Amino acid sequence: MRLKGQTAIVTGGSSGIGRAVCVKLASEGANIVIGFGHDSEGARETELRCRAYGVNAISVQADMADEEACDRLFLEALDMNERVDILVNNAGITKDNLMLRMSAEDFDKVIRVNMYGAFYCMKRASKIMLRQRYGRIINISSVSGLYGNAGQVNYAAAKAGLIGMTKSLAKELARKNVTVNAVAPGMIETRMTEALPEEVKAEMKKSIPCGRPGKPEEAAFAVSMLADPEASYITGQVLSVDGGMF
Ligand code: NAD
């Protein structure tokens, strides 16, 4: 129960990696605010799994592209426990296409959800965590943001942007005991990767030294490590969880 009494906000907690993060942090004793876009049933399921550990868990609808909606996450968290110890910016979307076919609209949408959403939440978290003189911010980036990926110019830009934001904010908050890190998953089995064409999935699997895709729980473990109070001297880092891919 290393996180007992703490409060964590996890965006996009209704499925996949976000759900696994919520459950892992709850198993460590944290109260959880689950941000979700549209999937209220998924969020409810996450809530129930978290509560099984005897913590508080609530779901809040918050479209990450909407600044005011992001505010709601923080108001609810403060209402629940008067603190926000952990923020996990996990919500994300892809709209893949080769550059010549990518519309400006699809570029914009991916940047809005993946990057602006994280910006809105980090801004609010920074204010609260500076006041508390404690906090852990973890951004879910991607190997695409580190190494690029054909068909993902928009997504790679957003995920690389998140890394730049992580490293810069880490420097701003370091003196106040607030750490900011990123986790860069490779291929993790979730709805996002399920949607990929079979031949792309097969090709990706071949490039994983571990010989298999990762599980959401394996990405969640990395998040929980960085969220630990003892991870106090790790900041501005990007931790790859990719089965040795890069
Ligand atoms: P997922 O589709 O299961 O999860 C994405 C989550 O984001 C969902 O809960 C969804 O409801 C939420 N979301 C989407 N649009 C939103 C919006 N506008 N507002 C609020 N929430 C919104 O897929 P996942 O794989 O669990 O993805 C989680 C994160 O991990 C994403 O940021 C993704 O880019 C990143 N990631 C995933 C992989 C992978 O292989 N699965 C690899 C690298 C990075």
- At residue 200, the pLDDT reads 86
From 17, 24, 60, the mutation candidate for ligand 1 (largest count of ligand atoms within 8 A of CB) is: 17
Decide if 26 contacts 41 (C-beta within 8 A): no
Give Cα separations from 53 to 1, 46, 72, 180, 226 (angstroms): 10, 12, 25, 26, 21
Q: What is the largest CA-CA distance in the chain?
A: 51
Ligand 1 center–CA 227 separation, angstroms: 19
- Tell me, in angstroms, the distance from the centre of ligand 1 to residue 6's CA: 24
**Which residue's CA is the closest to the ligand 1 atom numbered 31?**
92
Query: What is the distance in A from the centroid of ligand 1 to the CA of 90?
Result: 6
Number of neighbours of residue 4 by Cβ within 10 angstroms: 10
Residue-range domains of the chain with CATH = 7-241 (3.40.50.720)
- Over the stretch 143-162, which tens digit does the pLDDT of each residue have? 999 999 999 999 999 999 99
Amino acid at 135: G
The residues annotated with a catalytic role in the active site are 155
* Triad 15, 18, 20: Cα angle to 5°: 85
What pLDDT does residue 59 have? 98
For ligand 1, residues with CB inside 6 Å are: 11-12, 14-18, 36-37, 39, 63-65, 90-93, 113, 140, 142, 185, 187-188, 190-193
Q: In this structure, what token pair is assigned to residue 120?
A: 């809105």
132: left (phi over 0), alpha (psi -120 to 50) or beta: alpha
Per-residue tens of pLDDT for the chain, all 246 residues: 899 999 999 999 999 999 999 999 999 999 999 999 999 999 999 999 999 999 999 999 999 999 999 999 999 999 999 999 999 999 999 999 999 999 999 999 999 999 999 999 999 999 999 999 999 999 999 999 999 999 999 999 999 999 999 999 999 999 999 999 999 999 999 999 998 889 889 988 999 999 999 999 999 999 999 999 999 999 999 999 999 999
Residue 91 has what pLDDT? 98
- Report pLDDT digits (tens) over 237-246: 999 999 999 9
DSSP SS3 for 163: helix
pTM of structure: 0.98
According to DSSP, the β-strands at 57-61 and 86-89 are unpaired
Q: Is-contact 10 18, C-beta < 8 A?
A: yes
